[in-house]
Amino acid sequence: SEKGVLIKSAEVLEKISKIETFITDKTGTLTFGKPKISKFVKFGSITEKQFLTYLGAAEINSNHPVAKPVVEYIKKKGIKIPSSEKPRESPGEGVEITLKGKKIAVGKIIYIKNLGAKFETFMEKEIESFSKQGFSLTAISLNKKPIGLIVFEDNLRPSAKSIVNLTKSLGAKKWIMLTGDGPVVAKKIAKDAGIDNFEANLTPREKLKFIEKFKKENPNLQIAMIGDGVNDAAALAIAD
């Protein structure tokens, strides 16, 4: 435990040499898990203060890793974050609040779309451009209308690719990356880490279901799950 490693049982140590498949989370595992805000992109005529006020009011109710740097940034700007009503967080996806009668939602692009927001063509182009560069994106909507993006950078750990290659040289046949990010970002990060297989846009529950299904379809394989325990604790628990 002094080295940050917890061993579930003695049996686990015996299985290590037989591991053929590694399934890994992205944020905080392959990457540092400390998202840095690169920029804010506002849509429409909303002022910066309004934008950040709405954003802060929602994100202060979230436990997602990207929420903390957002709230800290807004407070440093001297903007007071108002109290909201009816906060509801969907872990790994986003958060909804009501602020003075206005419905505000912050989260993954697909989460915001599923709540009924429609992104115009120029917005989709912005999303595609940032995604191709490897940035992670959070969107914000006001009364189901997108009002902007928060662009994050979470760098790949320098040791990630060498560790993946080392395990392959020792007999590992497959690495699979699971992430809540979109497919464009997921593809770039996986490629940079030397991982050929990935599943994108997954919620914590969907990650768990993926591992359950994979184990059922491959009963004779020893599977190792790698994660930081924030949103993937259940998935970690059922791996070999």
Is the separation of the CB atoms in 179 and 228 below 8 Å?
Answer: no
The rounded radius of gyration (Å) of the Cα atoms in the chain is 19
Say if residue 13 is exposed, middle or buried (CB neighbours under 10 Å; 0-12, 13-18, 19+).
exposed
* Kind of pairing between the strands at 145-153 and 222-226: unpaired
What is the Cα–Cα distance from 132 to 184, expressed in whole angstroms?
A: 6
At 70, list the tokens: 């957002």
Backbone angles phi, psi at 239, to 5 degrees: -70, 160
Classified as helix, coil or strand, 211 is: helix
CB 50 within 8 A of CB 67: no
Single out the catalytic residue among 25, 154, 181, 232. 25
Residue 52 is encoded by which pair of tokens? 């950040």
Rounded to an integer, what distance in angstroms lies between the CA atom of residue 48 and that of residue 142?
14
Q: Is 154 a catalytic residue?
A: no
Cite the active site residues. 25
